[in-house]
Structure 1
Amino acid sequence: MTIQPAKLSDPAVRAFVHAVNAHDREGFMSLLSPGATMADDGSDRDLAEWIDQEIFSSRGHMDVDNESNGGRTLLARYSNDTWGEMRTRWTFTVEEDGRISRFETGQA
């Protein structure tokens, strides 16, 4: 059963999912700490290049199936125009100011 984004526990993660699904690049970027990093399937990637390719230019969308770790780990069906749909795991590091300093994703 899908968890509605508005019901996700962590405010930063909730805003992240909303920005992805709304294709809101400006809103997405405002959620990240300066110097934020990310990894895909265990490899660090260039954040700006990755989000352009995997989220914004390919119309990425997250349907969250499960959350754990206080809402900072998600299991989601992620889809985009490049890869179609896949089961993914997302983990987030959220700083005291409420911004995301790192996220990691990969196939689940």
Structure 2
Amino acid sequence: MSIAASNPTVQAFVSAVNAGDRDSFDAVLAPDATMSDDGTDRDLAAWVDKEIFSADGRMDIESESDGGLELVATFTNSTWGAMRTAWRFTVDDGRITRFETGQA
């Protein structure tokens, strides 16, 4: 059973992923947002296209901490299937400036 993130910006991110809504996803990110996957910085636009929007990505939140800025979620896409992942978000003025993800 998926829970909602208590941080509204992070919840908007998760909702956009789950809806496949690229416009809403882009709107929640700061213009210069960055990200990493398994500890390696990635090109955000290329990663998001490949891992989320071209592969029907979906997040089901299992738990959260740090006021909703840290999540453990089952991330599923058509490339890798389902995997337990950790997510950490940095939010500034209601927009995500960085997110880090990797296997949990």
- Aligned-residue offset at 1:34: 1.2
Structure 1 ranges of 4+ moved more than 2 A: none
Q: Does 1:9 align with 2:9?
A: no
Deviations 1:23-49 (A, max 9, x none): 000000000111100000000000000
Deviations 1:51-100 (A, max 9, x none): 000000000000000000000000000000000000000000000x1000
Secondary structure at the counterpart of residue 100 of structure 2: strand
**TM-score, structure 1 as length reference:** 0.94
Unaligned runs of 5+ in 1: none
Instruction: Show the 5 A alignment for 1:1-108.
Output: 1-3=1-3, 5=4, 8-95=5-92, 97-108=93-104
Aligned residues: 104
**TM-score, structure 2 as length reference:** 0.98
Give aligned-pair identity as a percent: 62
- Aligned-residue offset at 1:2: 2.6
Q: Aligned letter for 1:2?
A: S
